[in-house]
Structure 1
Amino acid sequence: MEGFLQQLINGVTLGSIYGLIAIGYTMVFGIIGMVNFSHGDVFMVAAFFALIMFLVLTTWLGISSVALALLIVMVISMILTSTLSWAIERVAYRPLRGSFRLAPLISAIGMSIVLSNFVQLAQGPRNKATPPMLRDSYTLWQNAEGFAVTVSLKQIVIWLVTAVLLTAFWYLVQKTSLGRAQRACEQDRKMAGLLGINVDLTISLTFVMGAALAAVAGTLFLMYYGVINFADGFTPGVKAFTAAVLGGIGSLPGAVIGGLLIGLIETFWAQYVSADYQNVAAFSILIVVLIFMPQGILGRPEIEKV
């Protein structure tokens, strides 16, 4: 029972990170119908931004408060990553928006390779580590044999940040003029343009918002694991895409629910089956969902217009 509770805590934490990345996938797909396969590498670049800024703040500028340093790092990483994503959309995606459907997909894969190889050349192929951050932990339960169920301060921070951001972005999409413009572009971009909506600006802002969430996820990932590698964009990115499909691509709450489910599947599989095949378990879920429930948990069936 204690092992189950501990893996439940770990799975929710991992799933929260996946959910933040998955929101970027689901927002872009919902508006322009394209899977942004470079989004995982944008997350990885954001984690390197966070690493560099954290080391600059704590080592060179002498900021001793880890909480303050993390807050500054998160804000700067969001700005830099959003700028990068805006440039990617302008250079790699916008010129191909009217092309055949495979062209943006190929461009996205190519941009993913560019980002991954650039970071490998700039930072090297080895793992980059940070000093330990937020090391406090709290014991929730301890049995007679001494096994304790614990929750760390890092995990609590990840849960709170995910909940706050999901609420904020849901409000933005549902209650603001930008959200109405995004939903209008999702339904019919041509008609939205005829009604006076700046479609190009709306799509660019959607990329920026998704990248900002990826920056937060990258900062939390670095805080939680304390290490990052240039190849760490692919696997979390594909798992986050799996989460978006599982939750219903196009649904913000669905992306987070899918992320939580993927995180729980991974951790429980590692606990009760084998840690060597936890990635197989996560990707098998994608295959099953695409076959039996392609619209996902909270997604809506796509209606073909004729």
Structure 2
Amino acid sequence: MASGLLALLDDVAALVKVSAASLDDVPTQVAKTTSKVSGIVIDDTAVTPKYVVGLDPSRELSIIYQIAKKSLINKLLLLSPAALVLGFFAPWAIPPILMVGGAFLCFEGYEKVHSMFGKHAEACESTEDEMEVITPQELEKERVSGAVRTDLILSAEIVAITYATVADKPLVMQIAVMLAVGIFITIAVYGFVGLIVKADDFGVHLAKANNSPQVRKLGVGIVKFMPTFLKILSYVGTAAMLWVGAEIIAHGIPFTSHALDKLEHSLSDIPALAWFVKALVCAISGLILGFLIEKVVTLARRLFKKSPAEKSL
């Protein structure tokens, strides 16, 4: 009995040592994973501010907090467990799910581009029954929902890349790294987004009369620059949605994945050019794909839309 208990304690001690050794390597794996998802993190940071622009300034940080909270919940309680379960039971299902998410990003990105450059056409096509009054609270809720939907796709890609990085590691390591990456990236992204959207308030504070002329000049410059910066960031965020969405889909298809890798390798002597060309090709492809998806969705809506006679029945 005593020898059996000692053997059990030895096994427990060995398991604790393995787990401790795994946890010691967590920061290294987190750093490695973060570098791989840096492009998606930039995309997420660029996309989010456009959901806050135009709303009550006093509600900006609250809105960002709502989005960040839901993003963290999605990463830790939904996406990470799902990745672990799928990775163990059905690893083949992860790429198709990500491709569906990529298609959604392309569709949403195309709609943003269409709204930017097709406003006059939309105004002519709109009818009175399509126009509705929306309260600030409803608009805020709609913006938060839209931001969370977009973040869910980007977060899924981050979680998938994180899982792929530690797929051959012990389960304890996988869980620890995925939790650490999810928390770190969420805080980093939405902390920076908070700084961006409140920069104009900081500029107003610097521009107060009790500050020195140089400080006031800096504050006025920040206030004047921020609308232009946010507009540029909105364009960057839209382009990023198209780029990331198309790249997710491309990597899920062997032929296009090979072609994309070949394109990047052909320009490997100039890394910056290779990155730019790859991003440009993906963004254009995402725009075309988003256009096609929008046409399919529009056709489906028309086919399933009930006629007035059917609605009255």
TM-score, length-scaled by structure 1: 0.32
Q: Which has the higher strand share?
A: 1
TM-score, length-scaled by structure 2: 0.32
Question: Whose Rg is larger?
Answer: 2
Q: Which has the higher contact order (CA 8 A, sep 6+)?
A: 1
